[in-house]
């Protein structure tokens, strides 16, 4: 007998990331090939016609696992009883818009969605925030979803950066993706993030080697590699005139897949989660860490005891400072908004 359907919410469902994301979820790539699903698709009322188009296409895919597709434009209805939520919809940065205004617009969305989670979602709901500024949006969402939903159930996506770093190392070391493991993205999903391979392993010629030795180019690892990963999103926008969508959708699927099924032995992934004080990051900051996930409890743990040298510490400090500034700005916007 097949298990009861999982109820999965995707917001920003008429947008470009979701156009890739919903098919992957509905076809079984995230929750497995035996897990039926009810997909709730939320977008704003103005996008209702486009949302209907996405629903028609999903229906036409004739996917056996997809028991229901529910398009909605009402937030309260959307969050009701959800098991997992992919929060992709956000206010995009428009030309001439200041960072402060972008933060304020997003604070409104994520304050309201945090409350809707608390009101309607299951207490075990797991949430990934993709919409930018992802870490700070997740921080605000967690603040308003608590105490019904534990902040531990709310995360932000840095898996795209993690996947980008893995792919760069594999190409440089001349191996395939599966031969590289345990890269780390520390901090914010922004230009200050720190892609770190000090503790990564590369399988080269049948044995696990430190990434630094496998790559054999310290100057590249401490320079070009870091800036390629930090700036990849902007380079893709310049090339495509649209932001990363296929790779962002794949990364969101990887993130929730590993949260649902757990991480393999001796392997970690990068996820922005509320800090527990590890590595000197103040408690509660939504900071990307290396985490392992237990399949039975679906609970994450920050990997402990990794050495942080002076170079790494400087990078951690910079991304922390940016996150603290964003948080303070967002909290000010929260007080000012009267929703």
Residues near ligand NAI (CB under 6 A): 11-12, 14-18, 42-44, 47, 88-92, 109, 130-132, 134, 157, 160, 189, 243-245, 248
* 9: helix, strand or coil: strand
Backbone angles phi, psi at 274, to 5 degrees: -65, 125
Q: Do the strands 286-294 and 299-302 form a parallel or antiparallel pair, or are they unpaired?
A: antiparallel
Q: Is 99 annotated among the ligand-binding residues?
A: yes
Q: Is 93 annotated among the ligand-binding residues?
A: yes
Q: CB under 8 Å to 211, separation ≥6 — which residues?
A: 169, 173, 180, 183, 197, 198, 200, 201, 202, 221
Backbone angles phi, psi at 292, to 5 degrees: -115, 150
Pick from 60, 65, 53, 63: nearest CA to 18: 53
Minimal distance, residue 203 CB to ligand NAI, in Å = 27
Q: Do the strands 84-87 and 6-11 form a parallel or antiparallel pair, or are they unpaired?
A: parallel
* Look-up of token digits 């237990």: 294
189 is an active site residue: yes
Residue nearest to ligand NAI (CB): 15
Q: Which is nearer to ligand NAI, 179 or 254 (CB)?
A: 254
Q: Is 43 annotated among the ligand-binding residues?
A: yes
Minimal distance, residue 297 CB to ligand NAI, in Å = 25
What is the per-residue DSSP string for 252-297? HHHHHHHHHH-PPTT--EEEEEE--SGGGPPTT-EEEEEEEEETTT
Q: CB under 8 Å to 180, separation ≥6 — which residues?
A: 166, 169, 170, 173, 200, 201, 202, 203, 211
Q: Which is nearer to ligand NAI, 12 or 262 (CB)?
A: 12
Minimal distance, residue 156 CB to ligand NAI, in Å = 7
Q: In what order do the strands lie in the sheet containing 84-87?
A: 66-72, 37-42, 6-11, 84-87, 126-129, 154-156, 269-274, 286-294, 299-302
Minimal distance, residue 296 CB to ligand NAI, in Å = 28
Minimal distance, residue 334 CB to ligand NAI, in Å = 16
Q: Is 164 annotated among the ligand-binding residues?
A: yes
* 332: helix, strand or coil: helix
Pick from 225, 254, 72, 79: nearest CA to 157: 254
Minimal distance, residue 94 CB to ligand NAI, in Å = 11
Q: Which is nearer to ligand NAI, 156 or 215 (CB)?
A: 156
Give CA–CA dist 339/108, Å, rounded: 7
Q: Is 106 annotated among the ligand-binding residues?
A: yes
Q: Which is nearer to ligand NAI, 179 or 196 (CB)?
A: 196
Exactly one of 189, 255, 257, 260 is catalytic; which is it? 189
Q: Which is nearer to ligand NAI, 113 or 209 (CB)?
A: 113
As annotated, the active-site residues are: 189
* Binding-site annotation, residues for substrate: 93, 99, 132, 164
* Binding-site annotation, residues: 43, 93, 99, 106, 130-132, 164
* Binding-site annotation, residues for NAD(+): 43, 106, 130-132
């Amino acid at each position: 007998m097949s298990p009861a359907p999982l109820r999965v919410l995707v917001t920003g469902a008429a947008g470009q990331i979701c156009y890739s994301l919903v098919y992957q979820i509905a076809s079984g790539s995230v929750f497995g090939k035996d897990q039926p699903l009810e997909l709730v698709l939320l977008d704003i009322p103005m996008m209702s016609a486009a949302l209907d188009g996405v629903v028609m296409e999903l229906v036409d895919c004739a996917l056996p696992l997809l028991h229901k597709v529910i398009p909605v434009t009402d937030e309260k209805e959307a969050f009701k009883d959800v098991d997992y939520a992919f929060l992709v919809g956000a206010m995009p940065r428009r030309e001439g818009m200041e960072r402060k205004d972008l933060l304020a617009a997003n604070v409104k969305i994520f304050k309201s969605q945090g409350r809707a989670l608390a009101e309607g979602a299951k207490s075990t709901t797991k949430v990934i925030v993709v919409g930018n500024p992802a870490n700070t949006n997740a921080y605000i969402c967690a603040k308003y979803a608590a105490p019904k939903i534990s902040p531990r159930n709310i995360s932000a996506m840095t898996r795209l950066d993690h996947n980008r770093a893995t792919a760069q190392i594999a190409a440089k070391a001349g191996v395939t993706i599966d031969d590289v493991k345990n890269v780390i993205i520390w901090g914010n999903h922004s230009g200050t993030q720190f892609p770190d391979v000090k503790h990564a392993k590369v399988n080269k010629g049948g044995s696990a080697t430190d990434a630094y030795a496998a790559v054999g180019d310290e100057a590249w690892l401490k320079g070009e590699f870091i800036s390629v990963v930090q700036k990849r999103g902007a380079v893709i926008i310049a090339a495509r005139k649209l932001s990363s969508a296929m790779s962002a959708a794949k990364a969101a699927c990887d993130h929730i897949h590993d949260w649902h099924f757990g991480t393999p032995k001796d392997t970690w992934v990068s996820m922005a989660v509320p800090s527990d004080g590890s590595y000197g990051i103040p408690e509660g900051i939504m900071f990307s860490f290396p985490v392992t996930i237990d399949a039975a409890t679906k609970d994450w743990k920050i990997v402990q005891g990794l050495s942080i040298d002076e170079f790494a510490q400087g990078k951690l400090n910079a991304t922390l400072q940016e996150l603290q500034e964003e948080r303070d700005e967002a909290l000010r916007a929260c007080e000012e908004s009267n929703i």
